[in-house]
Amino acid sequence: MNKINYQSVLDNTIKKITSENRVPTLLIHSCCAPCSSYVLEYLSEYFEITVLYYNPNIFPKEEYEYRISEQERLIKSMIFTHNVKFLSTDYTPEDFYNAVKGYEKEPEGGERCRHCFDVRLRYTAELAKKMNFDYFTTTLSISPLKNADVLNELGVQIGQEYGVEYLRSDFKKRNGYKRSVELSREYDLYRQDYCGCIYSKAERKKEGE
Q: Write the pLDDT tens digit of every residue in 15-48.
A: 999 999 999 999 999 999 999 999 999 999 999 9
- Beta-bridged to residue 166, according to DSSP, are 136
Residue 189's alpha-carbon distances to 68, 181, 182, 186, in angstroms, are 12, 9, 10, 8
What mean pLDDT do residues 63-67 have?
Answer: 95
pLDDT at 205 over 90: no
Main-chain dihedrals φ then ψ at residue 136, nearest 5 degrees: -140, 155
CA 6, chain centre distance (Å): 15
Strand partners for 87:
52
pLDDT at 163: 98
Task: Encode pLDDT of 119-159 as tens digits.
Answer: 999 999 999 999 999 999 999 999 999 999 999 999 999 99
Please report the pLDDT score of residue 196 as a whole number: 87
pLDDT band with cut points at 50, 70 and 90 for residue 202: confident
User: Global pTM?
Assistant: 0.95
CATH top class, domain 6-17+24-207: alpha beta
> Side chain identity at 196, as an amino acid letter?
G
Considering only CA atoms, which of 89, 103, 30 is closest in space to residue 61?
89
pLDDT of residue 10 exceeding 90, the answer is: yes
